A and B are shown apart, each in its own frame.
Chain A
Protein backbone atom coordinates (compact mmCIF):
# COMPACT_ATOMS: atom_id res chain seq x y z
CA UNK A 1 0.00 0.00 0.00
CA UNK A 2 1.55 3.30 -1.05
CA UNK A 3 1.35 6.59 0.82
CA UNK A 4 -1.52 7.94 -1.31
CA UNK A 5 -3.66 4.84 -0.65
CA UNK A 6 -2.93 5.06 3.08
CA UNK A 7 -3.92 8.74 3.12
CA UNK A 8 -7.06 7.99 1.10
CA UNK A 9 -7.98 5.19 3.51
CA UNK A 10 -7.53 7.47 6.52
CA UNK A 11 -9.63 10.21 4.87
CA UNK A 12 -12.40 7.70 4.14
CA UNK A 13 -12.39 6.64 7.79
CA UNK A 14 -12.48 10.25 8.93
CA UNK A 15 -15.33 11.04 6.54
CA UNK A 16 -17.28 8.02 7.79
CA UNK A 17 -16.85 9.13 11.43
CA UNK A 18 -17.88 12.69 10.51
CA UNK A 19 -20.99 11.40 8.73
CA UNK A 20 -22.00 9.31 11.75
CA UNK A 21 -21.34 12.22 14.11
CA UNK A 22 -23.29 14.72 12.01
CA UNK A 23 -26.16 12.26 11.62
CA UNK A 24 -26.23 11.66 15.37
CA UNK A 25 -26.15 15.40 16.07
CA UNK A 26 -28.92 16.04 13.55
CA UNK A 27 -31.10 13.30 14.98
CA UNK A 28 -30.34 14.13 18.62
CA UNK A 29 -30.83 17.83 17.95
CA UNK A 30 -34.42 17.53 16.75
CA UNK A 31 -36.36 18.77 19.72
CA UNK A 32 -39.79 20.25 20.07
CA UNK A 33 -41.17 21.84 23.22
CA UNK A 34 -44.19 23.76 24.43
CA UNK A 35 -45.35 25.09 27.76
CA UNK A 36 -48.24 26.89 29.46
CA UNK A 37 -48.74 28.64 32.78
CA UNK A 38 -50.73 28.42 34.98
CA UNK A 39 -51.54 24.77 34.47
CA UNK A 40 -54.93 24.96 36.12
CA UNK A 41 -57.64 27.48 36.96
CA UNK A 42 -60.51 27.01 39.41
CA UNK A 43 -63.82 28.83 39.58
CA UNK A 44 -66.91 28.50 41.76
CA UNK A 45 -70.09 27.67 39.92
CA UNK A 46 -72.69 30.39 39.49
CA UNK A 47 -75.59 29.36 37.25
CA UNK A 48 -75.56 31.08 33.84
CA UNK A 49 -72.67 33.43 34.64
CA UNK A 50 -69.98 34.13 32.04
CA UNK A 51 -66.37 34.49 33.12
CA UNK A 52 -63.16 35.25 31.23
CA UNK A 53 -60.02 33.26 32.06
CA UNK A 54 -56.52 33.48 30.59
CA UNK A 55 -53.24 31.62 30.53
CA UNK A 56 -49.86 32.07 28.89
CA UNK A 57 -48.27 29.90 26.23
CA UNK A 58 -44.50 29.64 26.68
CA UNK A 59 -42.31 29.53 23.60
CA UNK A 60 -39.78 27.22 25.25
CA UNK A 61 -37.58 26.81 22.17
CA UNK A 62 -37.75 30.46 21.04
CA UNK A 63 -38.92 29.67 17.51
CA UNK A 64 -41.72 30.61 15.11
CA UNK A 65 -44.79 28.54 15.93
CA UNK A 66 -48.35 28.10 14.73
CA UNK A 67 -50.71 26.90 17.40
CA UNK A 68 -54.22 25.57 17.38
CA UNK A 69 -56.35 25.98 20.52
CA UNK A 70 -59.53 24.04 21.29
CA UNK A 71 -61.62 22.91 24.25
CA UNK A 72 -62.27 19.32 25.24
CA UNK A 73 -63.67 17.52 28.26
CA UNK A 74 -66.99 17.59 30.07
CA UNK A 75 -67.61 21.35 29.85
CA UNK A 76 -66.17 21.89 26.34
CA UNK A 77 -69.48 23.21 25.02
CA UNK A 78 -69.45 25.95 27.65
CA UNK A 79 -66.05 27.24 26.53
CA UNK A 80 -65.56 29.97 23.95
CA UNK A 81 -61.99 30.55 22.80
CA UNK A 82 -61.35 33.99 21.28
CA UNK A 83 -58.59 32.88 18.89
CA UNK A 84 -58.35 29.28 17.74
CA UNK A 85 -55.34 29.78 15.49
CA UNK A 86 -52.36 31.60 16.95
CA UNK A 87 -48.93 32.45 15.59
CA UNK A 88 -45.94 33.10 17.81
CA UNK A 89 -42.70 34.66 16.64
CA UNK A 90 -39.28 33.46 17.70
CA UNK A 91 -38.86 36.67 19.70
CA UNK A 92 -42.08 36.14 21.67
CA UNK A 93 -41.36 34.40 24.97
CA UNK A 94 -45.00 34.13 26.01
CA UNK A 95 -48.41 34.82 24.56
CA UNK A 96 -51.66 35.18 26.46
CA UNK A 97 -54.66 33.14 25.41
CA UNK A 98 -58.08 34.05 26.78
CA UNK A 99 -61.34 32.18 26.79
CA UNK A 100 -64.82 32.56 28.22
CA UNK A 101 -66.77 30.02 30.18
CA UNK A 102 -70.52 30.37 30.20
CA UNK A 103 -71.61 28.30 33.16
CA UNK A 104 -74.53 25.98 32.43
CA UNK A 105 -77.86 26.63 34.11
CA UNK A 106 -77.52 23.53 36.22
CA UNK A 107 -74.68 21.23 37.26
CA UNK A 108 -74.55 18.43 39.83
CA UNK A 109 -72.59 19.14 43.06
CA UNK A 110 -68.83 18.44 42.94
CA UNK A 111 -66.04 19.24 40.54
CA UNK A 112 -66.54 19.55 36.77
CA UNK A 113 -63.81 20.31 34.32
CA UNK A 114 -62.76 21.33 30.83
CA UNK A 115 -59.40 21.07 29.08
CA UNK A 116 -58.07 23.85 26.86
CA UNK A 117 -55.69 22.06 24.51
CA UNK A 118 -52.87 23.96 22.78
CA UNK A 119 -51.27 22.03 19.92
CA UNK A 120 -48.35 23.04 17.81
CA UNK A 121 -49.18 22.77 14.12
CA UNK A 122 -46.40 20.81 12.39
CA UNK A 123 -44.56 22.72 9.68
CA UNK A 124 -44.27 21.29 6.19
CA UNK A 125 -40.83 19.81 5.68
CA UNK A 126 -39.69 20.78 9.16
CA UNK A 127 -40.22 19.81 12.77
CA UNK A 128 -39.71 16.44 14.34
CA UNK A 129 -42.57 14.46 12.80
CA UNK A 130 -44.69 14.36 15.94
CA UNK A 131 -47.11 16.86 17.40
CA UNK A 132 -46.60 18.29 20.86
CA UNK A 133 -49.49 19.66 22.89
CA UNK A 134 -50.23 20.93 26.38
CA UNK A 135 -53.42 21.29 28.39
CA UNK A 136 -54.65 24.15 30.57
CA UNK A 137 -57.29 22.75 32.91
CA UNK A 138 -60.37 24.50 34.19
CA UNK A 139 -62.10 23.17 37.29
CA UNK A 140 -65.59 24.36 38.18
CA UNK A 141 -66.69 23.65 41.74
CA UNK A 142 -70.41 23.25 42.32
CA UNK A 143 -71.24 23.51 46.03
CA UNK A 144 -72.91 20.58 47.75
CA UNK A 145 -76.20 21.37 49.41
CA UNK A 146 -75.70 22.18 53.09
CA UNK A 147 -72.38 21.55 54.79
CA UNK A 148 -69.64 19.61 53.04
CA UNK A 149 -65.96 19.48 53.90
CA UNK A 150 -62.90 18.34 52.01
CA UNK A 151 -59.71 17.78 53.97
CA UNK A 152 -56.29 16.22 53.78
CA UNK A 153 -53.75 15.41 56.46
CA UNK A 154 -50.08 16.40 56.51
CA UNK A 155 -47.79 14.94 59.16
CA UNK A 156 -44.21 15.99 59.77
CA UNK A 157 -42.15 13.19 61.27
CA UNK A 158 -40.02 13.75 64.31
CA UNK A 159 -37.28 12.46 66.53
CA UNK A 160 -38.22 10.17 69.38
CA UNK A 161 -39.59 12.29 72.28
CA UNK A 162 -39.85 15.14 69.78
CA UNK A 163 -42.91 16.90 68.43
CA UNK A 164 -44.90 15.55 65.48
CA UNK A 165 -46.99 18.23 63.81
CA UNK A 166 -50.39 17.32 62.38
CA UNK A 167 -51.84 19.81 59.90
CA UNK A 168 -55.31 19.24 58.47
CA UNK A 169 -56.41 21.90 55.96
CA UNK A 170 -60.20 21.93 55.64
CA UNK A 171 -62.02 23.39 52.63
CA UNK A 172 -65.75 24.09 52.64
CA UNK A 173 -67.32 22.72 49.45
CA UNK A 174 -70.91 23.14 50.60
CA UNK A 175 -73.18 26.14 50.20
CA UNK A 176 -73.05 26.77 53.96
CA UNK A 177 -69.91 27.76 55.89
CA UNK A 178 -68.40 25.33 58.39
CA UNK A 179 -68.63 26.88 61.84
CA UNK A 180 -66.97 24.24 63.97
CA UNK A 181 -64.45 21.74 62.62
CA UNK A 182 -62.19 19.59 64.77
CA UNK A 183 -60.53 16.21 64.50
CA UNK A 184 -60.09 13.15 66.65
CA UNK A 185 -56.83 11.40 65.81
CA UNK A 186 -55.84 7.86 66.81
CA UNK A 187 -52.20 6.78 66.49
CA UNK A 188 -51.41 3.13 65.73
CA UNK A 189 -48.05 1.35 65.72
CA UNK A 190 -46.88 -0.99 62.98
CA UNK A 191 -48.67 -4.02 64.47
CA UNK A 192 -51.96 -2.15 64.65
CA UNK A 193 -52.05 -1.35 68.39
CA UNK A 194 -53.47 2.02 69.34
CA UNK A 195 -50.70 3.90 71.17
CA UNK A 196 -52.32 7.27 71.67
CA UNK A 197 -55.31 9.41 70.83
CA UNK A 198 -56.04 13.14 70.89
CA UNK A 199 -58.62 15.76 70.01
CA UNK A 200 -57.68 18.96 68.23
CA UNK A 201 -58.93 22.50 68.74
CA UNK A 202 -61.84 23.79 66.67
CA UNK A 203 -61.48 25.91 63.53
CA UNK A 204 -63.94 27.33 61.03
CA UNK A 205 -63.88 27.23 57.21
CA UNK A 206 -65.72 29.07 54.48
CA UNK A 207 -65.62 29.13 50.69
CA UNK A 208 -63.42 32.21 50.83
CA UNK A 209 -61.11 31.03 53.61
CA UNK A 210 -60.05 27.51 54.34
CA UNK A 211 -59.59 26.33 57.91
CA UNK A 212 -56.43 24.71 59.19
CA UNK A 213 -56.38 22.32 62.12
CA UNK A 214 -52.92 22.22 63.71
CA UNK A 215 -51.93 19.92 66.56
CA UNK A 216 -48.51 19.19 68.03
CA UNK A 217 -48.22 15.68 69.39
CA UNK A 218 -45.33 14.57 71.61
CA UNK A 219 -43.86 11.41 70.16
CA UNK A 220 -43.44 9.64 73.47
CA UNK A 221 -43.22 6.28 71.70
CA UNK A 222 -40.43 4.01 70.41
CA UNK A 223 -38.90 4.85 67.04
CA UNK A 224 -40.74 3.28 64.12
CA UNK A 225 -43.48 3.64 61.56
CA UNK A 226 -46.90 4.77 62.81
CA UNK A 227 -50.22 5.49 61.21
CA UNK A 228 -52.67 8.22 62.13
CA UNK A 229 -56.40 7.71 61.62
CA UNK A 230 -58.25 11.00 61.84
CA UNK A 231 -61.96 11.60 62.03
CA UNK A 232 -62.71 15.17 61.02
CA UNK A 233 -65.95 16.25 62.69
CA UNK A 234 -67.73 19.27 61.22
CA UNK A 235 -71.11 20.44 62.40
CA UNK A 236 -72.34 16.90 63.03
CA UNK A 237 -70.83 15.32 59.88
CA UNK A 238 -67.62 13.27 59.73
CA UNK A 239 -64.78 12.68 57.30
CA UNK A 240 -62.10 9.95 57.63
CA UNK A 241 -58.42 10.49 56.85
CA UNK A 242 -55.45 8.18 57.23
CA UNK A 243 -51.70 8.62 56.84
CA UNK A 244 -48.51 6.95 58.04
CA UNK A 245 -45.47 8.72 59.47
CA UNK A 246 -42.10 8.00 61.06
CA UNK A 247 -40.92 8.64 64.57
CA UNK A 248 -37.15 8.69 64.91
CA UNK A 249 -34.65 7.63 62.32
CA UNK A 250 -33.47 4.29 61.03
CA UNK A 251 -30.39 4.12 63.22
CA UNK A 252 -27.95 1.27 63.71
CA UNK A 253 -25.35 1.46 66.43
CA UNK A 254 -22.02 -0.32 66.27
CA UNK A 255 -21.53 -1.17 69.93
CA UNK A 256 -18.56 -3.49 70.13
CA UNK A 257 -15.75 -5.00 68.05
CA UNK A 258 -13.95 -8.14 69.18
CA UNK A 259 -11.14 -10.24 67.72
CA UNK A 260 -10.66 -13.55 69.51
CA UNK A 261 -8.09 -16.39 69.16
CA UNK A 262 -5.84 -14.35 66.88
CA UNK A 263 -2.38 -15.27 65.64
CA UNK A 264 -0.39 -12.86 63.47
CA UNK A 265 -0.15 -14.12 59.88
CA UNK A 266 -3.45 -15.99 60.11
CA UNK A 267 -6.99 -14.87 59.40
CA UNK A 268 -8.44 -12.54 62.03
CA UNK A 269 -12.16 -12.85 62.77
CA UNK A 270 -13.78 -9.46 63.53
CA UNK A 271 -17.08 -9.76 65.40
CA UNK A 272 -19.04 -6.50 65.35
CA UNK A 273 -22.08 -6.14 67.58
CA UNK A 274 -24.70 -3.94 65.91
CA UNK A 275 -27.93 -2.75 67.56
CA UNK A 276 -31.02 -1.74 65.58
CA UNK A 277 -32.52 1.26 67.41
CA UNK A 278 -35.42 1.50 64.94
CA UNK A 279 -38.76 -0.18 65.58
CA UNK A 280 -38.79 -1.99 62.25
CA UNK A 281 -36.49 -4.55 60.67
CA UNK A 282 -33.58 -2.96 58.77
CA UNK A 283 -32.62 -4.99 55.74
CA UNK A 284 -29.34 -5.29 53.88
CA UNK A 285 -26.92 -4.34 56.67
CA UNK A 286 -23.19 -4.98 56.33
CA UNK A 287 -19.89 -3.64 57.62
CA UNK A 288 -16.89 -2.55 55.58
CA UNK A 289 -13.52 -2.13 57.24
CA UNK A 290 -10.48 -0.31 55.83
CA UNK A 291 -7.03 -0.69 57.38
CA UNK A 292 -4.46 1.97 56.49
CA UNK A 293 -0.65 1.74 56.36
CA UNK A 294 1.73 4.41 57.69
CA UNK A 295 1.34 6.41 54.46
CA UNK A 296 -2.43 6.51 54.93
CA UNK A 297 -3.04 4.14 51.99
CA UNK A 298 -5.63 1.38 52.23
CA UNK A 299 -3.68 -1.84 52.86
CA UNK A 300 -6.71 -4.05 53.49
CA UNK A 301 -10.44 -3.87 52.89
CA UNK A 302 -12.88 -6.50 54.06
CA UNK A 303 -16.62 -6.66 54.57
CA UNK A 304 -19.19 -8.78 56.32
CA UNK A 305 -22.05 -10.69 54.69
CA UNK A 306 -25.32 -8.77 54.35
CA UNK A 307 -27.80 -9.32 57.20
CA UNK A 308 -31.30 -8.22 58.21
CA UNK A 309 -31.60 -6.94 61.80
CA UNK A 310 -35.07 -7.04 63.42
CA UNK A 311 -36.34 -3.93 65.24
CA UNK A 312 -34.70 -3.20 68.62
CA UNK A 313 -32.48 -6.29 68.34
CA UNK A 314 -28.72 -6.82 68.25
CA UNK A 315 -26.79 -8.93 65.80
CA UNK A 316 -23.12 -9.85 65.38
CA UNK A 317 -21.71 -9.15 61.91
CA UNK A 318 -18.57 -11.12 61.15
CA UNK A 319 -15.78 -10.17 58.75
CA UNK A 320 -12.33 -11.63 58.17
CA UNK A 321 -8.90 -10.04 57.66
CA UNK A 322 -6.04 -12.08 56.25
CA UNK A 323 -3.01 -10.83 58.22
CA UNK A 324 -0.48 -12.69 56.11
CA UNK A 325 2.45 -10.31 55.60
CA UNK A 326 1.16 -7.82 58.17
CA UNK A 327 3.74 -6.61 60.67
CA UNK A 328 3.22 -5.87 64.34
CA UNK A 329 2.26 -2.28 65.04
CA UNK A 330 -0.58 0.17 65.26
CA UNK A 331 -2.75 0.76 62.21
CA UNK A 332 -5.41 3.37 61.60
CA UNK A 333 -8.70 1.91 60.50
CA UNK A 334 -12.24 2.96 59.51
CA UNK A 335 -15.35 0.87 59.95
CA UNK A 336 -18.41 1.66 57.83
CA UNK A 337 -21.81 0.38 58.86
CA UNK A 338 -23.85 0.39 55.66
CA UNK A 339 -27.63 -0.01 55.43
CA UNK A 340 -29.89 1.16 52.63
CA UNK A 341 -28.73 4.57 51.49
CA UNK A 342 -27.08 5.27 54.85
CA UNK A 343 -23.55 4.78 56.05
CA UNK A 344 -22.15 5.40 59.52
CA UNK A 345 -18.40 5.69 59.95
CA UNK A 346 -16.26 5.02 63.01
CA UNK A 347 -12.52 5.60 63.11
CA UNK A 348 -10.33 3.47 65.32
CA UNK A 349 -6.84 2.00 65.68
CA UNK A 350 -5.81 -1.61 65.54
CA UNK A 351 -2.88 -2.54 67.79
CA UNK A 352 -1.60 -5.71 66.17
CA UNK A 353 0.66 -7.96 68.20
CA UNK A 354 1.67 -11.63 67.81
CA UNK A 355 -1.45 -13.04 69.45
CA UNK A 356 -3.83 -10.15 69.82
CA UNK A 357 -5.55 -7.31 67.97
CA UNK A 358 -6.54 -4.58 70.35
CA UNK A 359 -9.21 -2.16 69.15
CA UNK A 360 -8.35 1.31 70.36
CA UNK A 361 -10.96 4.04 70.57
CA UNK A 362 -14.18 4.59 68.78
CA UNK A 363 -13.52 7.99 67.26
CA UNK A 364 -16.69 9.48 65.91
CA UNK A 365 -16.52 11.83 62.96
CA UNK A 366 -18.55 14.79 64.08
CA UNK A 367 -19.06 17.88 62.03
CA UNK A 368 -20.42 20.83 63.87
CA UNK A 369 -21.79 23.75 62.00
CA UNK A 370 -22.08 26.95 63.96
CA UNK A 371 -25.28 28.52 62.77
CA UNK A 372 -25.82 31.10 65.40
CA UNK A 373 -22.45 32.89 65.65
CA UNK A 374 -23.65 36.05 63.96
CA UNK A 375 -26.81 36.14 66.00
CA UNK A 376 -24.80 35.92 69.23
CA UNK A 377 -22.66 38.83 68.05
CA UNK A 378 -25.77 40.82 67.18
CA UNK A 379 -27.28 40.20 70.59
CA UNK A 380 -23.98 41.20 72.26
CA UNK A 381 -23.86 44.46 70.27
CA UNK A 382 -27.47 45.28 71.13
CA UNK A 383 -27.08 44.44 74.82
CA UNK A 384 -23.84 46.45 75.09
CA UNK A 385 -25.50 49.38 73.28
CA UNK A 386 -28.51 49.35 75.58
CA UNK A 387 -26.32 49.02 78.71
CA UNK A 388 -24.14 51.96 77.55
CA UNK A 389 -27.27 54.04 76.96
CA UNK A 390 -28.72 53.15 80.35
CA UNK A 391 -25.42 53.98 82.11
CA UNK A 392 -25.15 57.27 80.17
CA UNK A 393 -28.68 58.30 81.13
CA UNK A 394 -28.38 57.22 84.76
CA UNK A 395 -24.99 58.95 85.04
CA UNK A 396 -26.37 62.20 83.70
CA UNK A 397 -29.83 62.36 85.26
CA UNK A 398 -29.03 60.77 88.65
CA UNK A 399 -25.45 61.89 89.39
CA UNK A 400 -23.78 64.37 87.05
CA UNK A 401 -26.75 66.66 86.59
CA UNK A 402 -27.35 67.00 90.36
CA UNK A 403 -23.67 67.41 91.15
CA UNK A 404 -23.17 70.00 88.43
CA UNK A 405 -26.31 71.84 89.46
CA UNK A 406 -25.25 71.77 93.13
CA UNK A 407 -21.72 72.99 92.18
CA UNK A 408 -23.12 75.88 90.16
CA UNK A 409 -25.51 76.77 93.00
CA UNK A 410 -22.64 76.75 95.54
CA UNK A 411 -20.47 78.89 93.27
CA UNK A 412 -23.36 81.29 92.79
CA UNK A 413 -23.88 81.40 96.62
CA UNK A 414 -20.20 82.20 97.21
CA UNK A 415 -20.28 84.97 94.65
CA UNK A 416 -23.45 86.36 96.22
CA UNK A 417 -21.81 86.26 99.68
Chain B
Protein backbone atom coordinates (compact mmCIF):
# COMPACT_ATOMS: atom_id res chain seq x y z
CA UNK B 1 0.00 0.00 0.00
CA UNK B 2 2.82 2.41 0.95
CA UNK B 3 4.51 1.63 -2.35
CA UNK B 4 1.33 2.43 -4.22
CA UNK B 5 0.98 5.80 -2.44
CA UNK B 6 4.64 6.54 -3.12
CA UNK B 7 4.22 5.68 -6.80
CA UNK B 8 1.11 7.83 -6.98
CA UNK B 9 2.96 10.74 -5.34
CA UNK B 10 5.88 10.36 -7.74
CA UNK B 11 3.51 10.51 -10.70
CA UNK B 12 2.05 13.78 -9.40
CA UNK B 13 5.61 15.06 -8.73
CA UNK B 14 6.50 14.28 -12.30
CA UNK B 15 3.38 16.01 -13.66
CA UNK B 16 4.04 19.14 -11.57
CA UNK B 17 7.71 19.34 -12.60
CA UNK B 18 6.95 18.60 -16.27
CA UNK B 19 4.14 21.13 -16.32
CA UNK B 20 6.42 23.73 -14.70
CA UNK B 21 9.13 23.10 -17.27
CA UNK B 22 6.68 23.37 -20.15
CA UNK B 23 5.34 26.66 -18.80
CA UNK B 24 8.88 28.02 -18.25
CA UNK B 25 9.86 27.10 -21.81
CA UNK B 26 6.70 28.73 -23.12
CA UNK B 27 7.29 31.88 -21.02
CA UNK B 28 10.89 32.15 -22.23
CA UNK B 29 9.68 31.71 -25.81
CA UNK B 30 6.94 34.25 -25.27
CA UNK B 31 9.40 36.80 -23.87
CA UNK B 32 12.16 36.20 -26.41
CA UNK B 33 12.46 38.79 -29.16
CA UNK B 34 11.37 37.53 -32.56
CA UNK B 35 13.59 38.81 -35.36
CA UNK B 36 12.08 38.64 -38.82
CA UNK B 37 14.04 40.91 -41.15
CA UNK B 38 16.56 41.60 -42.50
CA UNK B 39 17.72 38.01 -42.74
CA UNK B 40 21.17 37.03 -41.49
CA UNK B 41 24.09 37.74 -43.87
CA UNK B 42 21.93 39.88 -46.13
CA UNK B 43 23.90 41.77 -48.78
CA UNK B 44 22.15 44.66 -50.47
CA UNK B 45 22.88 47.93 -52.22
CA UNK B 46 19.73 49.53 -50.80
CA UNK B 47 20.59 51.93 -48.00
CA UNK B 48 17.04 51.96 -46.58
CA UNK B 49 16.70 48.74 -44.61
CA UNK B 50 13.48 47.56 -43.01
CA UNK B 51 14.00 46.05 -39.56
CA UNK B 52 11.08 43.80 -38.60
CA UNK B 53 10.83 42.28 -35.15
CA UNK B 54 8.56 41.85 -32.17
CA UNK B 55 8.92 41.56 -28.38
CA UNK B 56 11.69 44.15 -28.40
CA UNK B 57 11.92 47.91 -28.20
CA UNK B 58 15.53 48.64 -29.07
CA UNK B 59 17.80 47.89 -32.00
CA UNK B 60 21.54 47.78 -31.35
CA UNK B 61 23.65 48.35 -34.43
CA UNK B 62 27.43 48.33 -34.64
CA UNK B 63 30.26 47.64 -37.06
CA UNK B 64 31.83 45.03 -34.80
CA UNK B 65 30.64 41.86 -33.14
CA UNK B 66 31.63 43.11 -29.69
CA UNK B 67 29.12 45.98 -29.97
CA UNK B 68 31.74 48.27 -28.46
CA UNK B 69 30.01 51.49 -29.54
CA UNK B 70 26.52 50.51 -30.66
CA UNK B 71 23.99 52.86 -32.07
CA UNK B 72 20.82 52.44 -30.01
CA UNK B 73 17.59 52.95 -31.88
CA UNK B 74 14.36 52.82 -29.96
CA UNK B 75 11.58 51.37 -32.06
CA UNK B 76 8.42 49.36 -31.83
CA UNK B 77 8.08 46.39 -34.19
CA UNK B 78 9.14 47.69 -37.60
CA UNK B 79 11.41 50.51 -38.63
CA UNK B 80 13.25 51.57 -41.78
CA UNK B 81 16.79 52.73 -41.04
CA UNK B 82 19.01 54.49 -43.54
CA UNK B 83 22.53 53.14 -43.41
CA UNK B 84 25.75 53.99 -45.19
CA UNK B 85 27.56 51.25 -47.11
CA UNK B 86 29.47 48.93 -44.79
CA UNK B 87 29.21 45.78 -42.72
CA UNK B 88 26.90 45.92 -39.72
CA UNK B 89 26.05 43.61 -36.84
CA UNK B 90 22.70 44.06 -35.19
CA UNK B 91 20.41 42.61 -32.56
CA UNK B 92 17.22 43.65 -30.85
CA UNK B 93 16.72 43.97 -27.12
CA UNK B 94 13.51 43.48 -25.20
CA UNK B 95 13.06 41.34 -22.11
CA UNK B 96 16.16 39.59 -23.41
CA UNK B 97 18.53 39.99 -26.36
CA UNK B 98 18.00 38.38 -29.74
CA UNK B 99 20.57 36.57 -31.84
CA UNK B 100 23.20 38.70 -33.61
CA UNK B 101 22.72 39.13 -37.35
CA UNK B 102 25.07 40.46 -40.01
CA UNK B 103 24.07 42.93 -42.67
CA UNK B 104 26.17 44.26 -45.55
CA UNK B 105 25.27 47.40 -47.46
CA UNK B 106 27.35 47.18 -50.62
CA UNK B 107 28.62 50.41 -52.08
CA UNK B 108 27.19 51.25 -55.48
CA UNK B 109 28.40 53.77 -57.99
CA UNK B 110 25.49 54.83 -60.17
CA UNK B 111 25.52 57.57 -62.76
CA UNK B 112 22.52 58.74 -64.74
CA UNK B 113 22.53 61.26 -67.59
CA UNK B 114 19.45 63.02 -68.80
CA UNK B 115 19.60 65.19 -71.87
CA UNK B 116 18.18 68.69 -71.40
CA UNK B 117 16.99 70.96 -74.19
CA UNK B 118 19.90 73.46 -73.95
CA UNK B 119 22.54 70.92 -75.00
CA UNK B 120 23.50 70.20 -71.42
CA UNK B 121 23.05 67.02 -69.38
CA UNK B 122 21.53 66.57 -65.97
CA UNK B 123 24.07 64.40 -64.20
CA UNK B 124 22.46 62.42 -61.37
CA UNK B 125 24.19 60.41 -58.67
CA UNK B 126 22.00 57.28 -58.75
CA UNK B 127 24.20 55.24 -56.39
CA UNK B 128 24.61 55.16 -52.62
CA UNK B 129 28.04 56.77 -52.23
CA UNK B 130 29.37 60.28 -52.90
CA UNK B 131 30.68 60.67 -56.45
CA UNK B 132 33.45 62.55 -58.18
CA UNK B 133 32.22 62.92 -61.74
CA UNK B 134 34.89 63.77 -64.33
CA UNK B 135 33.59 65.68 -67.34
CA UNK B 136 35.18 65.47 -70.77
CA UNK B 137 34.45 67.30 -74.00
CA UNK B 138 35.87 66.14 -77.34
CA UNK B 139 38.41 63.99 -75.53
CA UNK B 140 39.61 66.75 -73.20
CA UNK B 141 39.07 66.83 -69.44
CA UNK B 142 37.06 69.99 -68.76
CA UNK B 143 36.10 69.70 -65.11
CA UNK B 144 34.80 67.75 -62.19
CA UNK B 145 31.62 67.83 -60.14
CA UNK B 146 31.01 66.31 -56.73
CA UNK B 147 27.58 64.79 -56.13
CA UNK B 148 26.08 63.28 -53.00
CA UNK B 149 23.61 60.40 -53.44
CA UNK B 150 20.45 61.54 -55.30
CA UNK B 151 22.06 64.92 -56.00
CA UNK B 152 22.21 66.23 -59.55
CA UNK B 153 23.80 69.05 -61.53
CA UNK B 154 23.49 70.44 -65.04
CA UNK B 155 26.74 70.03 -66.98
CA UNK B 156 28.04 70.45 -70.52
CA UNK B 157 30.22 67.71 -72.01
CA UNK B 158 30.17 64.52 -74.07
CA UNK B 159 31.61 62.03 -71.59
CA UNK B 160 30.89 61.68 -67.88
CA UNK B 161 32.73 59.20 -65.66
CA UNK B 162 31.85 58.76 -61.99
CA UNK B 163 33.81 57.14 -59.18
CA UNK B 164 33.44 57.06 -55.39
CA UNK B 165 34.96 60.04 -53.61
CA UNK B 166 36.73 59.85 -50.27
Residues of A within 8 A of B (CB): 24, 27-28, 30-40, 58, 60, 115, 117, 119, 128-137, 154, 165, 167, 212, 214, 371-372, 374-375, 378-379, 381-382, 385-386, 388-389, 392-393, 396-397, 401, 404-405, 408-409, 412
Do A378 and B23 contact each other (CB < 8 Å), given the known contacts A32-B112, A39-B127, A405-B9?
A: no
Closest to B120 in A: A130
B103 interface hit (Cβ, 8 Å):
no
Q: Which of A27, A31, A37, A212 contacts B69 (CB 8 A)?
A: A212
Q: Which residues of B contact A212 (CB under 8 A)?
A: 64, 68-69
Contact residues, B82-122 vs A (CB, 8 A): 85, 94-95, 106-117, 121
Count of inter-chain pairs, beta carbons less than 8 A: 158
Q: Would you give the shortest CB distance from B76 to chain A, in whole angstroms?
A: 6
B157 interface hit (Cβ, 8 Å):
yes
Q: Would you give the shortest CB distance from A353 to chain B, in whole angstroms?
A: 48
Residue contact B129 to A132, C-beta cutoff 8 Å: no
Q: Which of A136, A375, A401, A409 contacts B94 (CB 8 A)?
A: A375
Residue contact A135 to B163, C-beta cutoff 8 Å: yes
A131, B13: Cα distance in complex, Å: 81
Q: Would you give the shortest CB distance from A388 to chain B, in whole angstroms?
A: 8
Q: Which of B94, B117, B129 contacts A39 (CB 8 A)?
A: B129
Closest to A135 in B: B163
Residue contact A40 to B164, C-beta cutoff 8 Å: yes
Residue contact A35 to B158, C-beta cutoff 8 Å: no
Q: Which residues of B contact A389 (CB under 8 A)?
A: 20, 23-24
Residue contact B163 to A115, C-beta cutoff 8 Å: yes
Do A133 and B94 contact each other (CB < 8 Å), given the known contacts A39-B127, A374-B76, A412-B1?
A: no
Q: Which of A34, A37, A382, A405 contacts B30 (CB 8 A)?
A: A382
B81 interface hit (Cβ, 8 Å):
no
B159 interface hit (Cβ, 8 Å):
yes
Pick the 8 closest A-B CB pairs, nearest first.
A135-B163, A35-B110, A133-B161, A39-B107, A33-B112, A39-B164, A167-B69, A37-B108
Residue contact B16 to A37, C-beta cutoff 8 Å: no
